[in-house]
Structure formats: C-alpha cells, structure tokens
Amino acid sequence: MVVIIKTGETFLSLASQRGDFEDWILAGMGLDKEKATIIDVCNGSPLPTYDGISGIVITGSHTPVTEHKDWSERTAEWLPGVVERKIPLLAICYGHQLLAYAMGGKVEDNPNGLEFGTIDVKLHSAAKKDLLFYDLPDSIRVNVGHCQSVLRLPPNSRLLASSEMDQHQAFVVGDCAWGIQFHPEFDAKTTIEYINNFKQLLREGGTNPDYLITNCSDTPDSAKLLKRFVQIVKNPRPENESSRPVSPDATG
C-alpha cells in the first residue's frame, strides 16, 4: 500500500483546473488514485500504523514548518518510525523540511530569499551511489517554489544535491528516506501559477517574476524520480544487499 501524506492544498484556482498535490504526484508515479491511501493530516486525518505500508510520499504545503502546527508536529513524531522500519519515503518540499526537522535538522526561512521557477540543481558524488538518483546527469533542471529551507541536515544523512540558493536540495537519511526540496510533480504551467501567486513577495525580495516565468520549463529528469520511487517501493532491497542501485530493467 502506497500512502500519500497530504500536508497542504494548492491554490483553489489551480486545484479546480488541474487537481491537487496528491493528484500530480500519483500521475507522475503512474498510479491510480484508487491504489493509494490519501491521509489528509492537515485536516485532521489520523496517521496510519506502519503495518502494511510499502511506500510513503509527503506532499508540499503552504504552511511553514516553523509554525509547528499540531498536525505537523504529530507527523514529525511519526516519521522516525518510518525511517527505523526502512519504509521507502519520498518527502517533497514541505515534506523534505519536515523530514529534516523530525530527524534532528534545522528548518528556517531561506536566508538567500524565495526560490521559485525552473533552476539548475547539481548532484553530489553521493548521488551516484544512491538508489533514487544514481543515473541522473551531474546537473538537472527542477521546478521549485519555497520560502523556507533546511539550514542544517539531520545527523547521519547524506547530501545529494544543491542549488545556487539552497545548499540542501536533496538528502537521504537511513537506507531509503529521501527529502527533496524541489517539486518533481510540477510542470511548467504549475510552476508559472506559483510564481504568479508570489509575484509581490518576489518583487519585494528583488527578484523579477516575469524573468522567472520566461525561463520556466518542464523538467523530465526531475520527473523521473517519481517513477523511480515506485520501482524502489515494488522492489525493496534485501537486508543483506549492498547499496548498489536498483536497475530499471530489473524492476519491470
């Protein structure tokens, strides 16, 4: 069973036309909504027990982690159990920050300002041996939209990717719990909609939103991560196996 932990909702204008975070994530993974369980924690849904869960995705949110909402804190307390049980976890944007916070890292407003649009992310050497990132190019294009960042990674985590404005774009903690600050589920149209909704704040921070919009694009390398995650969920690595990557050819 794949579980989507829904930690927020997109803008109503966008949701009415294109669906919400969980819809984009499931579409990117190639999964029908009926084959996943959506846990809407931000609206009071209780977190599940760990039994029977094959994989977990945490969505983005418009709520800052530093507001320490009750539902957010409950989810943070639940996450170490996921890591300990080696349940594959993909935590996106807010989820990335929440995973870092839950495992002992530090999250605050990004001192470099808001990061929106389509940007270049450079992969570190650890990514070449990582189950999720192993065969991606050294630099990939990704779509981003966030105000807060992970300023300190949790202990015993491995840094996988960085951008000019955010050193911690991706990390992994334990065997298979990934945090990614960028949005593999965002296409160019969704990214542009986010820029339009944050135009004033971007201008106040000295960024030209119109320039960001003209440089938006789809990000196929980033989007691959969603299907790759499904492959990992379907073919978990045996306990005694080394950290070699899973071959897509072997996963069907």
Domain boundaries, position 185: 2-244
Question: DSSP states of 81-115 as a string?
Answer: HHHHTT--EEEETHHHHHHHHHTT-EEEE-TT--E
**SS3 per-residue string spanning 210-221:** HHHHHCCCCCHH
CATH number at residue 160: 3.40.50.880
**Of residues 9, 22, 185, 193, which has the active-site annotation?**
185
Specify whether 183 is catalytic. yes
Tokens 């307390």 sit on residue: 77
Active site residue 22: no
Residue type for position 112: N
- Establish if 251 belongs to a structural domain: no
Q: How many folded domains does the chain comprise?
A: 1
Which residue reads 């870092």 in tokens? 100
pTM (predicted TM-score): 0.92
Select which of 42, 93, 176, 216 is catalytic.
Answer: 93
Residue-by-residue pLDDT tens, the chain, 252 positions: 899 999 999 999 999 999 999 999 999 999 998 889 999 999 999 999 999 999 999 999 999 999 999 999 999 999 999 999 999 999 999 999 999 999 999 999 999 999 999 999 999 999 999 999 999 999 999 999 999 999 999 999 999 999 999 999 999 999 899 999 999 999 999 999 999 999 999 999 999 999 999 999 999 999 999 999 999 999 866 443 444 444 333 332
* 9 classed as catalytic: no
